[in-house]
Chains A and B, each alone.
Chain A
Amino acid sequence: MTEKFDAIVVGAGPAGNAAAYTLASAGLKVLQLERGETPGTKNVQGAILYSDALERIIPDFRNEAPLERHIIEQRMWVLDDDSAIGTSYRSEAFSSDRPNRYTILRAPFDRWFSEKVRAAGALVICETTVTELLQEGGRVVGVRTDREEGDIYADVVILADGVNSLLARKAGFHGELDPRNVALAVKEIHFLPEETLQGRFNIKGSEGVVIEIAGAVTHGMVGTAFLYTNRESITLGIGCLLSDFKKTRVPPYALLEELKQHPAIAPLIEGGEMKEYAAHLIPEGGYKAIPKLYGEGWMIVGDSAGLVNAAHREGSNLAMTSGRIAAETVIALHGKGLPCSQENLAVYRAALDESFVMKDLKKYRELPEVLHGNPHFFSVYPKLFNRAAHTMLTVDGEDKHSKEKTVRRSFVEQRSLLGLMGDAYRMWRATR
């Protein structure tokens, strides 16, 4: 086949769709290839949609996109075996006419996004796997697919093929994923009548609640859990680093089962009908694990590029933003008649560095290492905090001064004074 495109986008997730939509809207000749039967069938996310990133691509998305609930309240819980301590923030301001975050279900959302890509003029071909990148003289010139006569050429190939990015690995752009840099997350969707859901979470209309969870449920592994309210369902999931799963040999589904039985969680999902189970890898290596993002005739975006802010559970917004910026880079070069050479594509990395994407990842660059080195953050502290709360909130004739002493002693016994100070320093350093 001799057909040539201005750009080929591999993958139809948030990053790929953002790139393909932006390119096609600017009038470029775009081919998007997706291995799933339809866009969305292979894609897994929690899922929270951050409005800002999408708004910069499709400003009026709220009128058309299939959204579940807009988030007005975020709770953070730290669990012990049968207790939970936590904080929450709730605000009516999040119910403005332009809410900041939504829960979504990826299957319908991705279908919608892909329709927008098609309508913008991109050629979207599904059920087609890109098997390798075509290279000539060290330059990527196109892709080879699993179909007959399946070589297709383009000025630039944007890799949005997901966390594993087999293509980038095969082409030697980055190495094998380090299990310390990837989380394995599992989730279930439980259906509940809308009124039940609203009652349980103290919400009305399309308001929604997010609960981020850490503590005993991860068995001391580096990881967290989450509970999201959808329109008529609850998404409940848990994820830990792959390297920790390997060490503990705890099966992920067992963690999820324990989470569902926790006394703080069980009443929230009671009576729900489980409709969906999914598992996915999340690149959580952060700034230091980011591979080379561009080269001669290629760029890499989204999960494939490891652009996930694990500390804030943001990923799809980084994906969309990187896809958009990659596309804008190509559009600018195309407009000037310049080739998509490594030198010219450096603009992509520079623009990413200037955006919240790299600034945020850089801020937390030490976090993965600190968490690896301090497993007690996920085992010792949740217990200590829960017990402290229990001590202080139990009225039993003991005076408050003595209670405080008991609490202090429990901390010092577990971590020593120096240990506590070290932990505080390490957390500060990891998140400054």
Chain B
Amino acid sequence: MHIVVCIKQVPDSAQIRVHPVTNTIMRQGVPAIINPFDLFAIEEALQLKDRYGARVTVLTMGPPQAEVALRKAVAYGADEMVLLTDRAFAGADTLATSYALAQAIRKLGEEEPVDLVLTGKQTIDGDTAQVGPGIARRLDLQLLTYVSAITDLDPGGKTIEVQRRSEGGVQVIRTRLPALVTVLEGGSTIRFATMPNMFRAERQPVQQWNREQAGIDDVGKIGLKGSPTVVSKIFTPRAGNRRAKMIGAEMGSAGEVASAVLDLLGSEHPRFARELGLAAP
């Protein structure tokens, strides 16, 4: 079984500050970490490896420094690391990123077919949760998002069963492989690396792929050129200054309280009241 885990090196957003004048992110001195959600994806992959045996490849796209993130993943127990790095990838939005990663996974599949792709549910710097689904769509993989646990996997029968968090409950879903799973936080926390794996992580060479090596011919689909997203403005939202009103619990019945709430809404938001068919006060 071949598992690919897509990870991203991100600035530790807990330590980021926004420049008060220019509104740009001040990255100086902010440590780079593995996107915390991706750590849960790595651990899921390693547990599948422990249970069923698997080759785990970690894949990332980023500047050469991103190899630190890959080495860390190998220290935890991943087998191989691939770094997509090329100036042509710079400035990619989620569309272009998912294209580049999908192409790389396709390429990895030529060596050994990929059964499962794992990612974190989203990154802490972009927060879009779009890259995972983007890859699944491009590679025609079964898409399982917001997965809290992989409960069963049949490498021979090529099926997978997961628990997926959805509004109001947990869905248990079984589908066929190959699949792409985006993993939620809160599963098993990442393991403590063994000493032999620490050594291996330092010594093993990182496979660095540029655009051609990743099997990408169309420059228009990657990097800035392949990114239709435009960030037109970044600003810090002003802290809200809203009033709270206590509606007396001493009023008695629930119906009376509800009427009081509706009256208040009606007086504050006449349009809302009209649409609901409430009498304007």
Query: Within 8 Å CB of A123, what residues of B?
Result: 199, 202-203
Report Cα–Cα, A420/B202, bound state, in Å.
62
Report Cα–Cα, A391/B57, bound state, in Å.
78
Q: Is the CB of B192 within 8 A of A147?
A: yes
Tell me the smallest distance from the CB of B258 to a CB of chain A, in Å.
52
Contact-residue size bin, chain A (C-beta under 8 Å from the other chain):
10 to 19
Q: Is the CB of A1 within 8 A of B202?
A: no
Is residue A181 contacting chain B, with contact meaning CB distance below 8 A? Answer: no
Report Cα–Cα, A152/B203, bound state, in Å.
16
Q: Is the CB of A152 within 8 A of B195?
A: yes
Report Cα–Cα, A125/B195, bound state, in Å.
9
Is residue B193 contacting chain A, with contact meaning CB distance below 8 A? Answer: yes
Report Cα–Cα, A125/B193, bound state, in Å.
12
Number of A-B contacts (CB under 8 A): 29
Residue of A145, A147, A152 with highest tally of chain B CB at under 10 A: A147
Query: Within 8 Å CB of B198, what residues of A?
Result: 125, 128, 147
Interface residues of A in 110-162 (CB under 8 A from B): 123-125, 128, 145, 147-152
Q: Is the CB of A149 within 8 A of B196?
A: yes
Report Cα–Cα, A125/B194, bound state, in Å.
12
Report Cα–Cα, A152/B199, bound state, in Å.
11
Is residue A3 contacting chain B, with contact meaning CB distance below 8 A? Answer: yes
Report Cα–Cα, A347/B88, bound state, in Å.
57
- Size of the B side of the interface (Cβ < 8 Å), in residues, is 10
Query: Within 8 Å CB of B195, what residues of A?
Result: 1, 128, 145, 147-152
Query: Within 8 Å CB of B202, what residues of A?
Result: 123-125
Q: Is the CB of B199 within 8 A of A147?
A: no
Interface residues of A in 15-32 (CB under 8 A from B): none
Query: When each residue 180-210 of chain B gets 1 if its CB lies under 8 Å from chain A and 0 otherwise, what string results?
Result: 0000000000001111101100110000000
Closest chain A residue to B202, Cβ basis: A123
Tell me the smallest distance from the CB of A117 to a CB of chain B, in Å.
12
Tell me the smallest distance from the CB of A104 to a CB of chain B, in Å.
16
Tell me the smallest distance from the CB of A193 to a CB of chain B, in Å.
15
Report Cα–Cα, A203/B243, bound state, in Å.
54
Query: When each residue 25-48 of chain A gets 1 if its CB lies under 8 Å from chain B and 0 otherwise, what string results?
Result: 000000000000100000000000
Query: Within 8 Å CB of A3, what residues of B?
Result: 199
Report Cα–Cα, A149/B77, bound state, in Å.
14
Report Cα–Cα, A152/B195, bound state, in Å.
9
Report Cα–Cα, A3/B203, bound state, in Å.
14
Closest chain B residue to A145, Cβ basis: B195
Interface residues of B in 9-43 (CB under 8 A from A): 31
Query: When each residue 353-376 of chain A gets 1 if its CB lies under 8 Å from chain B and 0 otherwise, what string results?
Result: 000000000000000000000000
Q: Is the CB of A147 within 8 A of B203?
A: no
Closest chain A residue to B193, Cβ basis: A147
Query: Within 8 Å CB of B199, what residues of A?
Result: 3, 123, 125
Q: Is the CB of B194 within 8 A of A149?
A: yes
Report Cα–Cα, A123/B198, bound state, in Å.
10
Query: Within 8 Å CB of A152, what residues of B?
Result: 195
Q: Is the CB of B196 within 8 A of A1?
A: yes
Tell me the smallest distance from the CB of B50 to a CB of chain A, in Å.
14
Report Cα–Cα, A147/B201, bound state, in Å.
14
Interface residues of B in 263-279 (CB under 8 A from A): none
Closest chain B residue to A124, Cβ basis: B202
Query: Within 8 Å CB of B192, what residues of A?
Result: 147-148
Query: Within 8 Å CB of A150, what residues of B?
Result: 194-195
Query: Within 8 Å CB of B196, what residues of A?
Result: 1, 149
Interface residues of B in 73-119 (CB under 8 A from A): none
Closest chain B residue to A148, Cβ basis: B194
Report Cα–Cα, A1/B198, bound state, in Å.
12
Report Cα–Cα, A123/B31, bound state, in Å.
22
Query: Within 8 Å CB of A124, what residues of B?
Result: 202
Closest chain A residue to B203, Cβ basis: A123
Closest chain B residue to A147, Cβ basis: B195
Query: Within 8 Å CB of B194, what residues of A?
Result: 147-150
Tell me the smallest distance from the CB of A108 to a CB of chain B, in Å.
9
Query: Within 8 Å CB of A37, what residues of B?
Result: 31
Query: When each residue 263-281 of chain A gets 1 if its CB lies under 8 Å from chain B and 0 otherwise, what string results?
Result: 0000000000000000000
Interface residues of B in 135-161 (CB under 8 A from A): none
Closest chain B residue to A108, Cβ basis: B29
Query: Within 8 Å CB of A151, what residues of B?
Result: 195
Tell me the smallest distance from the CB of B108 to a CB of chain A, in Å.
28
Closest chain A residue to B194, Cβ basis: A148
Interface residues of B in 202-242 (CB under 8 A from A): 202-203
Tell me the smallest distance from the CB of B94 to a CB of chain A, in Å.
30
Report Cα–Cα, A147/B203, bound state, in Å.
18
Closest chain A residue to B68, Cβ basis: A38
Query: Within 8 Å CB of A147, what residues of B?
Result: 192-195, 198
Report Cα–Cα, A268/B202, bound state, in Å.
45
Tell me the smallest distance from the CB of B217 to a CB of chain A, in Å.
37
Top 7 closest pairs, chain A to chain B, by CB: A150-B195, A148-B194, A147-B195, A149-B195, A149-B194, A125-B198, A149-B196
User: Taking beta carbons and an 8 Å cutoff, which residues of B are in contact with A?
Assistant: 31, 192-196, 198-199, 202-203
Sampled A-B contacts (16; CB under 8 Å): A3-B199, A123-B199, A125-B198, A125-B202, A128-B198, A147-B192, A147-B193, A147-B194, A147-B198, A148-B194, A149-B194, A149-B195, A149-B196, A150-B194, A151-B195, A152-B195
* Additional A-B contacts beyond A145-B195, A150-B194, A152-B195 (12; CB < 8 A): A123-B203, A124-B202, A125-B198, A125-B202, A128-B198, A147-B192, A147-B195, A147-B198, A148-B194, A148-B195, A149-B194, A149-B196
